Structure formats: structure tokens, C-alpha cells
Amino acid sequence: METLSYEKIIDAPLQRVWDALWGTETYSEWTKFFGPGSSMKSDWKVGGKTYFVNAEGEGMVSTIDTLDQPNQIIFKHLGMIDKQGNEDTQSKEVMEWSGSFEKYILIDFGGKTKLHVEVQTEKDWKDHIDKGFIKGLEVVKELAENS
């Protein structure tokens, strides 16, 4: 498991950056680099369920480990979800990365926001994750600064 880090300084207050990250319409805009039609469904509860899925409904089932809106959210990935909505949290493949974290930390700098993201991933996924976050966080910046 490898931890990847990304940072972006955004000329917008914390709440606007948070809204750009997690808004229903804006989420799919910045995550399209991971997969077109990406969406997130969450109960927004620590210990609850959060689903990150592609246009076909496949993706990851996670939970919120820490939530301090609009300063920080940490997701803990639990498993996969297939097109039929079945969750896999026990297979050998899933157990190799289950429990990995995805952290979003927003820090106020006098009206600007420093967005820091950390993602734990397998080495095989590094290039895909890099591409998604490098391009995606630029979109978050544009969305937050222009809203």
C-alpha cells in the first residue's frame, strides 16, 4: 500500500471548496477523470455508508471515519460494489486493500483554502489515481473560484 498526496491552493473560502468537492453536480465534474459519470451517495454519518460509483453503478463501498465539515473528511474504504448493488467486503482481493483511507483536509489561509488530499492505494493504481487527482483538483479549483 502506498500513500499519495496532492495539494492545491484555491482562492475561495473553505465552504465553497467543500461544496465544489461534495456537491451533487460538482462531484461528477471533478471525478470524471477517474471515470465518466462518477457519483457519490452518502448518509454523511461517521460509521455510515458511502458509495463511490461509476455510470454503471460499480465502485467502492466506504464509510466516513472522521467528519469535521468544512475542514476535514476521512473515508475508510471497505469493499467493492457490483452493477447489481452487491457489496463485497470479504473476498481475498478486497481484503488486500480494505481499510485504506482517503483524506481531504481544508485549511483556511485568510480567505484562501489549502486543499490537501491523501490517498492510500495499491501500486498498480498509482498512475490512474495521479491522473484523476492532478486533473480533478484543478477542476475543483475552477469550480470553487468561479462560483
Q: Does the model's pTM come out above 0.75?
A: yes
Q: What would the pLDDT profile of 75-118 be if each residue is shown by its tens digit?
A: 999 999 998 989 999 999 999 899 999 999 999 999 899 999 99
Average pLDDT over the chain reads 95
**In CATH, which superfamily holds the domain spanning 2-145?**
START domain (3.30.530.20)
Neighbour-count burial of 102, counting CB atoms closer than 10 A to its CB (0-12 exposed, 13-18 middle, 19+ buried): buried
Give me the residue spans of the domains in the chain. Answer: 2-145
Question: 78: closest CA among 100, 59, 57?
Answer: 100
Contact 9, 116 (CB under 8 A): no
| Per-residue model confidence (pLDDT) at position 53 | 93
